[in-house]
Amino acid sequence: MPALLPVASRLLLLPRALLTMASGSPPTQPSPASDSGSGYVPGSVSAAFVTCPNEKVAKEIARAVVEKRLAACVNLIPQITSIYEWKGKIEEDSEVLMMIKTQSSLVP
């Protein structure tokens, strides 16, 4: 797995394979949130999922992302198990999953 870059290098420089966008398409019927006058626009909010090797790294990145106002909130989900292929072998590692909630316009 590529080495993690210092937080000063910005989240946008993390390996793209670690980042997945999850955003929905606008619904065909108005949703209760859009009826309530909350200002929510369907498709304007995304969640990026990033894995980190440990809690220290995850907290460092999460704090930097929130401080720089790149995300409204980052949830850290500890002790997930990742199973993946790396250099022709099946690997298994314990990682921390970051769920980064942000505006879709801020995700590359």
| Residue 3 placed within a domain | no
pTM here is 0.60
| Residue 33 placed within a domain | no
Q: Give CA–CA dist 101/45, Å, rounded.
A: 7
- End-to-end alpha carbon distance in the chain: 21
| Residue 53 placed within a domain | yes
E-strand ranges in the chain read 20-22, 45-52, 73-86, 89-103
| Residue 105 placed within a domain | yes
Give the domain extent around 60. Answer: 46-108
| Residue 57 placed within a domain | yes
Query: Mean of the per-residue pLDDT values for the chain?
Result: 74
Q: Give me the mean pLDDT over the 70-86 stretch.
A: 95
Phi, psi of 94 (to 5 degrees): -90, 130
Beta bridge partners of 70: none
pLDDT interval class at 24 (50, 70, 90) = very low
Domain count of the chain?
Answer: 1
Q: Give me the mean pLDDT over the 27-54 stretch.
A: 69
Q: What's 89's domain CATH number?
A: 3.30.70.120
pLDDT interval class at 1 (50, 70, 90) = very low
Q: Give CA–CA dist 44/66, Å, rounded.
A: 18
| Residue 60 placed within a domain | yes
Amino acid at residue number 8? A
